[in-house]
């Protein structure tokens, strides 16, 4: 459930309670966690580097992985979500 679901869209910012404002701020500024490389992917999934490479090559985590040349960036949250969905 999003924080904004409980807040009236026509409410002015200055009319928010401190709690509503804090919740809204947390949702907006939510930090993304990233790992880098095959070693980072292996750490996220708790597998060996060779298994992590095979999982990456299979395309299961396609939306969570960005690769530019030799640089691999993995969105941790999305990778875990996609990996758990693939095991169902």
Number of structural domains found in the chain: 2
pLDDT at 9 over 80: no
Query: What residues are paired with 40 via a beta bridge?
Result: none
Identify whether residues 39 and 64 lie together within a single domain: yes
pLDDT in tens, 20-76: 888 888 888 877 789 999 999 999 999 999 999 999 999 999 999 999 999 999 999
User: Residue 62 belongs to what domain range?
Assistant: 34-86
pLDDT at 87: 76
Identify whether residues 40 and 62 lie together within a single domain: yes
Identify whether residues 47 and 81 lie together within a single domain: yes
Identify whether residues 4 and 24 lie together within a single domain: yes
Identify whether residues 78 and 41 lie together within a single domain: yes
Quote the tokens at residue 39.
């070693």
Strands (E) in the chain, as ranges, are 34-36, 65-68, 71-75
> Confidence class of residue 86 from pLDDT cuts 50, 70 and 90?
confident
């Amino acid at each position: 459930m999003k924080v904004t679901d409980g807040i009236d869209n026509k409410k002015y910012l200055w009319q928010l309670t401190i709690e509503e404002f804090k919740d809204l701020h947390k949702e907006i500024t939510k930090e993304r966690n990233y790992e880098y490389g095959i070693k980072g992917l292996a750490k996220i999934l708790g597998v060996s580097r060779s298994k992590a490479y095979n999982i990456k090559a299979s395309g299961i985590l396609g939306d969570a992985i960005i690769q530019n040349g030799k640089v691999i960036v993995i969105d941790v949250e999305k990778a875990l979500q996609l990996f758990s969905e693939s095991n169902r």
